[in-house]
Each structure stands twice: as structure tokens, then as C-alpha cells.
Amino acid sequence: MTEIWDKIIIHADMDAFFASVEQLDNTDLIGKPVVIGSRSSRGVVSTASYEARVFGVKSAMPMVKALALCPHAIVIPPKMERYKEISSIIMEVFKTFSPSVEAISIDEAFIDMSGSQRIFGTPEQMGKKLKNDVFEATGGLTISVGIASLKFISKIASDMQKPDGLTIVTPENITEFLTPLPVSKLWGAGPKTVEELIKMGFNTFGDIRKAPQKYFSDQFGKKGIHLWSLANGIDERTVTEQGEAKSIGKENTLEKDTNNINEILFYIQKNADNVAHQLRVKFLKAKGVRVKLKTSKFQLLSRQMTLLQPADTSKELFDAAKILLKQFEIKKYKYRLIGITAFDLVEAPKQRELFESPQKVKNRNLDIALDGVLNKFGNGAILRGSNLKVKDNLKYNDKSDD
């Protein structure tokens, strides 16, 4: 295979991830049916080793049912910290292949290898090297890899020959690959949509391809166009590196509900400090700001805006939030939760001062001074003088939503 592909996208996903880590850490478990989850009557299966899957055990199944299917299963409670550690190792391996890595869960990512054929060789050589490097770096874990010129096809492909699979779909083979696939493989079609499609007589991608696009948009609206496009091998999506941080937010649940504007501003300011700090640490700027209020009756209200310029200082976020607050009918309700989120994140240029007004540089310098204190003593370390009065109303104060 010597042809050069226009785009090469890898999707890589660890095999029976949590269970395989347990087998790696305890060789007595190798070859045995291992089920991760709590044994309690309401416990749910996180995942199962392939030895347990033979009995029908799978993720999200009640533990009681799993043990009925496989009574000799070895049940192990999850060790999240350990799985996260291994996750970082595999993500590091991915980054040695391409700067463009989009992690989509703890054990899987897209890697954009477009234009790398001269360095890494054919897609097959890339896949083999990736599997080998993950195996070596983790001390013996296997990963399944799918490679295609379209994102969603690489995702379907990585699942085709699990465990320890390598599935390559060349651009010429796309139609042949997609035609027999069941509609349940359509990315974005939930169980309800799948049921509807089957009822309408669409069992495979091939069935969908025979229908005109208009039929799908009439039946399902925008989503219909998306599903029809996938079935036809059309997918414009690219690998987005910032996959892990699409937004950064901070919110507080209060001890006592309030609609006092000064109190609300206090929490907004405090959260803006925190969010701006996180943005700067990650060298990101936000193009949008959202304010979120939850009423005493748990109704969630939110307002958002696009900023004139991407921002990463507390003052800029706070100023935007103040404008947004005017759009709520504040006095109409009392609030139990107050939050601010920065979204539409872009990478911040490193030499930003060169292009900024003296006032903006001053804002940033104040924020950077706060960063120093926060880094050294943790997030609770500093409160602005104007904010000290109301801090007692905090129930628990640290919920990030990024």
C-alpha cells in the first residue's frame, strides 16, 4: 500500500480498560473473568474482562445480573486513581505520534496523522507501532486501533476486531465497509432513533444510502442530515486538540438561598477569579461567558454572550457577567446555585502584552499576582477584601464543569 491518503485519522481504544489494568497489576487475575464494580445490591458493572464477556457480562449491567450470568466472576471495586495514571501514560504515547490528539474518554482518543506518512510509514505501520508503543509503555496492555480517512469510520473500525485489533479502511474501501453496517453504528443515533430507523425499514447504512437526503431531513430535521451524511461516507469533522477543555466553569451551592445582588456578585467575582486563573494556567482564552443561576425550585436559568475579544482576566469575565446578570429578573426568584463558565476556548498567544492596552496589562498583572498565591496555597487562599463579608454562606464551593 503505497498510496498517500489525503487525511489519516486513528481512533485508539484500550481493551476492557479497568479490568485489564487489574490483570496487569495482579497476574493471578490473568485469563480469569474479572468484573469491575461494587458488589452491593445496587452495584453496576463498570466493565468486564473478555473472559467474563463470554458469559454475557457487560458495562452498565446490574451487578446482580452479572453474577447470575457468571457466578465465579472475580468482582473488584474500581481504583480510579490507578486508571487515570495509565490513561496519562497512553495519552503521552499518542502525543509522540501527533500534536493533534483528541481524548474523548479515559481510554480512547482520535489522533490526526494526516501528512505523517513520510515519517511513520503506511497506515498499517502507524497502527502496529502505536499498539506496540502502548504495550511497552504500560508494561503489557493492549489497545485496539482503527484507521481511516474519516473520523467516524476510524471509530467504528477500532471496535471491529477487539481485543487487540487493528482495522484499516482505505479510502477506496469506504463504501464496501459501510454498506452492511447496522444503523446502531451511526454515531449520534441513540436507541430511540435506531428503533425508529428500523421501523421505517432502514436496517443498514446501505438502506439509508438508497433514500434521498430530503427524506431524512423531513423525518428527523438537522439530525437526519447528519445521519444520512454518515451513511453516505460524508464526515467533515476534524480532530480537535482541545477536546478535554471545551469550557471551564466554577459554581457554588449556597447554604442559604439568596436574591441579594451584592451576594450574587460576590460569588460571581470569586468564581471569575478562579476560572480566569484556570484559563491562564492552560494558556487559553475564552470567546464566550455564561452565567448560570439555579432557583430554590431547582430551575436552571442561564444567559451567555460572545466577547468582543477573547479574555483570560477575572475583570473581563466579571464585567461580562455583570452585563449578563442584568438580563435575569433577579428579584423574581431566590437562588441556591451561582456559577460562571468560560466557553469557546482558544489558545492564548504567549506574547500577549505586546498588543494590549496599559489598563489590560494592569488587570492581568493583578491576576497574575493572584495566580502566584493560588498556586502556592490553593484556591481557598485568597479572597478580595470586598468579598470577605459573605463568604460564610458557602456550603461547598468547588465544582468545576470543565
Of the candidates 81, 80, 133, the residue with the CA atom closest to the CA atom of residue 111: 133
Q: Catalytic pick from 22, 51, 102, 108?
A: 108
Q: How far is the CB of 48 from ligand TTP (least distance, A)?
A: 7
Q: How far is the CB of 164 from ligand TTP (least distance, A)?
A: 10
**Which residues of this protein are in contact with ligand TTP, per CB under 6 A?**
13-18, 46-47, 59-60, 106-108, 162-163
Q: Does 19 bind Mg ion (CB under 5 A)?
A: no
Q: Specify whether 108 is catalytic.
A: yes
Question: 363: which residues sit within 8 A by CB, 6+ positions away?
Answer: 313, 314, 315, 316
Q: How far is the CB of 151 from Mg ion (least distance, A)?
A: 17
Which one-letter amino acid corresponds to residue 136?
E
Question: 225: which residues sit within 8 A by CB, 6+ positions away?
Answer: 213, 216, 217
Q: Is residue 36 a contact partner of residue 18, using CB atoms and an 8 Å limit?
A: yes
Q: The C-alpha cell of 120 is what?
A: 511513520
Of the candidates 127, 78, 136, the residue with the CA atom closest to the CA atom of residue 106: 78
Exposure string of 51-66, with b = 16+ CB inside 10 Å and e = fewer, is bbbebebeeebebeeb
Among 5, 9, 12, 17, binds Mg ion (CB under 5 A): 17
Q: How far is the CB of 221 from Mg ion (least distance, A)?
A: 32
Q: How far is CA 226 from CA 233, 277, 288, 385, in A?
A: 11, 37, 26, 52
Which residue's CB is nearer to Mg ion, number 86 or number 230? 86
Mark residues 85-124: x for contact with Mg ion by CB under 5 A, - for none: ----------------------x-----------------
- Taking CB under 5 A as the criterion, which residues in 195-224 touch Mg ion? none
Alpha carbon distance 111, 94 (integer Å): 7
Which residue's CB is nearer to ligand TTP, number 108 or number 235? 108
DSSP 256-295: EEE--HHHHHHHHHHHHHHHHHHHHHTTEEEEEEEEEEEE
Residue 243: burial class (beta carbons within 10 Å; 0-12, 13-18, 19+): middle
The closest residue (CB) to Mg ion is: 13
Which residue's CB is nearer to Mg ion, number 86 or number 390? 86
Alpha carbon distance 143, 296 (integer Å): 47
Q: How far is the CB of 113 from ligand TTP (least distance, A)?
A: 21
Q: Is residue 216 a contact partner of residue 232, using CB atoms and an 8 Å limit?
A: no
Residues comprising the chain, all counted: 402
Among 8, 11, 12, 13, binds Mg ion (CB under 5 A): 13
Exposure string of 97-127, with b = 16+ CB inside 10 Å and e = fewer, is bbebbbbeebbbbbbbbeeebeebebbeebb
Size of interface with Mg ion, in residues (CB under 5 A): 4
Q: In which region does residue 344 sit, left (phi positive, over 0), alpha (psi from -120 to 50) or beta (all else)?
A: left
Which residue's CB is nearer to Mg ion, number 101 or number 272? 101
Q: Which of ligand TTP, Mg ion, none does 46 bind, CB closer than 5 to 8 A by kind? A: ligand TTP
Q: How far is the CB of 47 from ligand TTP (least distance, A)?
A: 3
Q: How far is the CB of 237 from Mg ion (least distance, A)?
A: 21
Which residue's CB is nearer to ligand TTP, number 163 or number 206? 163
The residue behind cell 460564610 is 392
Q: The C-alpha cell of 35 is what?
A: 468484573
Which residue's CB is nearer to Mg ion, number 82 or number 282? 82
Among 9, 10, 14, 157, binds Mg ion (CB under 5 A): 14
Which residue's CB is nearer to ligand TTP, number 78 or number 206? 78
* Residues that bind Mg ion in the complex, under the rule CB under 5 A: 13-14, 17, 107
The set of catalytic residues is 108
